[in-house]
A = this chain, B = another copy of it.
Amino acid sequence: MSEPWLSGRAAIVGIGNTAFGKRGEFAERGTFALAVEAIAKACADAGISPQQVDGWASYSDDAATPAALAPAFGCERVRYAGMAWGGGGAGMGGAFLNASMAVATGQADYVVVHRSICQAGGSRFGQALARSDLSASMPEISFTAPFGQLSAAHMFALASRRHMHRFGTSEEQFAEVSINARLMAANNPVARFRDPISVEDHHASRMIADPLRLLDCCMESDVAGAVVVTSAERARDCARDPVYIAAAAMGAPYRWAMGMMGGGNMSDDDFASAGQRTVAEDLYRQSGLGPDDVDVAMIYDHFTPMVLMGLEDFGFCGKGESGDFVQEGRIRLDGALPVNTHGGNLAEVYAHGITHVHEAVRQLRGCANNQVEDARVSLVVGGSGPTPTSAVMLRSES
């Protein structure tokens, strides 16, 4: 591999989002109108006109396309429009990678990364798997759907159970991720779930896909978020202090690609993981930073066990040790590695990771609700699976 040429050459200069609605709340407005609002706010935050945007980057097959967004804003021209492959929040870091490459290599001046979700629109995931056109594009589903593996919860339940079996990871340890999210959200006025929960509340919540209970699963919501990315040089002329992209990486280890969908010849360590071992390796190599440098981490929390396995994949603890790591309070605000200080997918809003990036930016700007003192480096980890997953490393200094 080449030298980490990209590191620090792109920066985040603006963030914006819509209100956080529950599933279906903004169905009439629709994903396009939500995207427009979030993008306009991100541009205002950056101190630029949306007409200056000449690049677009999204993921998870976002329905708000540049073909419609650019004319909506009267953009002078479109120079870049890239989509990161991968479903759910897996492509979040990939979108930032595309945006970073586009501004750093001079393809575009201002690239907006955006994600817009109305979860009551279109077909739902569990239902969608029965659709013939989905099995055409995801042939691996033919091998797992007949056995009842029909939703994300079903898929991640397998890796979660395997982790419990091999390492003795407990439901109490899963619960801690959810409890922490609610504690963070309590101090976030716009978070959707701000009431604290106990271990007992967690255990009493209904089973969704054994071992995943309701309080292990993220919420559903209607929301859009956007981020303005530009070159490091141009960033210094923007309204806000730049937050530099130290690295963005996508990745999947051998056969993880089909991992969550049923496995197949991958190593047992990779199966009982978030599939992020190689993303971590590439992200650290490219940023020149390691786990010890991270002041605050946003780890995609669609299901609580995937936060635990993400902590292992990114080297914050050894393989199989994440349960103890969180049980000792380390991911709390006063812990060694505060995680998801906004409340995350579990308690703030479910926006496929774009609001995780927003929170990292606030931490590095020093204006988070749950501010980590002197935070200079923040890791943002995208969703685990389907392939490839991705992550971004942000830092406040160039």
- A167 surroundings in chain B (CB, below 8 A): none
- A106 surroundings in chain B (CB, below 8 A): 1-6, 286
- Which of A41-49, A136-144, A325-333 lies at the interface with chain B? A136-144
Known: A81-B94, A105-B101. A140 touches B67 (CB 8 A): yes
A-B contact sample (5 more), CB < 8 A, given A66-B388, A101-B105: A65-B137, A67-B388, A71-B255, A77-B251, A78-B388
- A85 surroundings in chain B (CB, below 8 A): 56, 65-67, 81-83
Q: How large is the interface on A (under 10, 10 to 19, 20 to 34, 35 or more residues)?
A: 35 or more
Question: Once the chains are docked, how many angstroms separate the CA of A258 from the CA of B65?
Answer: 11
> Which among A78, A231, A251 has the highest number of chain B CB atoms within 10 Å?
A78
Partner of A75, one of B74, B101, B254, B261: B254
Known: A77-B278, A106-B5, A278-B77. A82 touches B98 (CB 8 A): yes
Query: Is the Cβ of B105 less than 8 Å from the Cβ of A254?
Result: no
A396 within 8 A of B: no
- A350 surroundings in chain B (CB, below 8 A): none
Q: Which A261-292 residues have a C-beta within 8 angstroms of B?
A: 261, 264, 278, 282, 286
- Chain B: minimal CB distance from A279 (Å): 9
> Which among A74, A139, A286 has the highest number of chain B CB atoms within 10 Å?
A139
Query: Is the Cβ of A258 less than 8 Å from the Cβ of B83?
Result: no
A31 within 8 A of B: yes
**What 6 A-B pairs have minimum CB-CB distances, sorted nearest first?**
A2-B106, A81-B85, A67-B387, A83-B83, A101-B101, A78-B252
Partner of A249, one of B64, B65, B79, B97: B79
Question: Once the chains are docked, how many angstroms separate the CA of A119 from the CA of B3?
Answer: 42
Q: Mark A48-90, 1 if CB is under 8 A from B, else 0.
A: 0000000010000101111110110011111111111110000
Q: Which A84-115 residues have a C-beta within 8 angstroms of B?
A: 84-86, 91, 94, 97-98, 101-102, 104-107, 109
- Chain B: minimal CB distance from A331 (Å): 28
Query: Is the Cβ of B67 less than 8 Å from the Cβ of A86?
Result: yes
Nearest neighbor of A85 in chain B, beta-carbon distance: B81
- Chain B: minimal CB distance from A84 (Å): 6
Question: Once the chains are docked, how many angstroms separate the CA of A122 from the CA of B134?
Answer: 10
A305 within 8 A of B: no
A189 within 8 A of B: no
Query: Is the Cβ of A80 less than 8 Å from the Cβ of B1?
Result: no
Query: Is the Cβ of B250 less than 8 Å from the Cβ of A78?
Result: yes
**11 A-B pairs, CB-CB below 8 angstroms?**
A1-B106, A1-B109, A2-B105, A64-B137, A65-B85, A67-B261, A68-B140, A74-B254, A82-B83, A83-B84, A98-B101
- Chain B: minimal CB distance from A36 (Å): 11
- Chain B: minimal CB distance from A334 (Å): 37
- A84 surroundings in chain B (CB, below 8 A): 81-83
